[in-house]
Amino acid sequence: MTESPSERPVLVLNAGSSSLKYQLVVPETGEVRARGLVERIGESGSEVADHSAALQSMAERLRGEGIDLEGLSLRAVGHRVVHGGPGFSEPVAIDDEVLDRIRELSALAPLHNPAAAIGIEAARKRFDVPHVAVFDTAFFASLPPEASTYAVPRDLAEKHAIRRYGFHGTSHQYVAQATADLLGRPVEDLRQVILHLGNGCSASAVRGGHAVDTSMGLTPLEGLVMGTRSGDVDPGLHAYLGREAGLSLDEIDTLLNKKSGVLGLSGVNDFRELEHRLAAGDAGARLAFDVVVHRLKHYVGAYLAILGGIDALVFTAGVGENSVSVRAAVTDGLEGLGIEVDRARNAARSKIARVISPTGAMVVVAVVPTNEELAIARQTADLVG
Ligand code: ADP
């Protein structure tokens, strides 16, 4: 049976160094035909030796679910790529040159881009369809210079491509549009602050559908307090830790990326677990929660000023979509700024986009589920036509 173009799915791949996330999505309808995760790629004792083997394992699993990838007339493969560097400001069709450029950006994203390149290479060998790279940084490529520039010597910044890139861009862009759809207003008319709160967390200021500021920077370490990342610290902390604690730069990098944030303060990085401990009266959990919320308020206030007022404050991703207490705490005391949540609306559980501010409030506070795979599938389909 041949399917009409509008029914043909896009395969969305997100390759990490030892994992491969996949989703088979019909971009027009959002229908998810299949999704899954292949883990432990290349690890000792694992049956999955490399990313080609991971694709084989994915294909076998799909066959087990009655989906024959080869016979499916796949429309395209969309690849999530973390870092687009200074050059990629929108999705691109992947050829050998693009793949080389993604690889060359590995200095900026040493954990992510090499894995993405390996995943792309394997997928291009296996699937003879157009391949598209969708970059996590792309939505922020248009940040105005005053927001993207670090106050360090310009020649050095130029030589090493140092700027604020921002991440989670696919999510922020998707949620900005989904919020406009929810409100039934053109995205061009809205000033939004979007809080993407998952394991990684980032805030963005969006005017008319375009990002004007974001909390992540050269790397995803800057900004909000996250599951295991510190977010903003005094840049002087690095030198201090080097001198006083005798840590190397790599050790400091690992400390701030993997052992800090909610984990460093409370001993757990998962937010549900944090909330359980909070309810049990754990002091470390209390401090972690309060630090997370304080930093969030700091950014909400900053972006309110940068945008000159906002129409919508939007919560998304695992914590943003699910944590009643975070949403309540972040908005608490902001009534004077027109920001408040309705207690019952905030407490209602739902998987769909919804407004949680009281009717007639000056600022709409909303919970809008993100869907990065669908966004990647749509951008991929748009590009290949
Ligand atoms: P990722 O950044 O890996 O995509 P997610 O967006 O899935 O992460 O968010 C993961 C986080 O969301 C975890 O800290 C998890 O504890 C939190 N989370 C998921 N469900 C809930 C819930 N019901 N209440 C509070 N936090 C939740």
Q: What is the pLDDT of residues 93-142, one digit of tens each?
A: 999 999 999 999 999 988 889 999 999 999 999 999 999 999 999 999 99
Cα of 272 vs centre of ligand 1, distance in Å, is: 7
Q: Is 200 in the pocket of ligand 1 (CB under 6 A)?
A: yes
The per-residue pLDDT for range 171-218, each reduced to its tens digit, is: 999 999 999 999 999 999 999 999 999 999 999 999 999 999 999 999
| Residues 249-287: b if buried by 16+ CB within 10 A, e if exposed | eeebeebbbeebbbbbbbebbebeebbebbeeebebbee
Q: If you measure from the C-alpha of residue 20 to the centroid of ligand 1, how many angstroms do you get, rounded to a whole number?
A: 19
State how far the Cα of 292 lies from the Cα of 213, in Å rounded to an integer.
Answer: 20
276 lines ligand 1 (CB under 6 A): no
Predicted confidence (pLDDT) per residue in 334-356, tens digit: 999 999 999 999 999 999 999 99
Q: Say what the pLDDT of residue 80 is.
A: 97
Question: Which ligand 1 atom sits closest to the C-alpha of 275?
Answer: 25
pLDDT at position 188, please?
98
Confidence of residue 385 (pLDDT cuts 50, 70, 90): confident
Confidence grade of residue 5 (pLDDT, cut at 50, 70, 90): low
Q: What is the rounded average pLDDT for all residues in the chain?
A: 96
pLDDT at 1: 46
Its pTM stands at 0.96
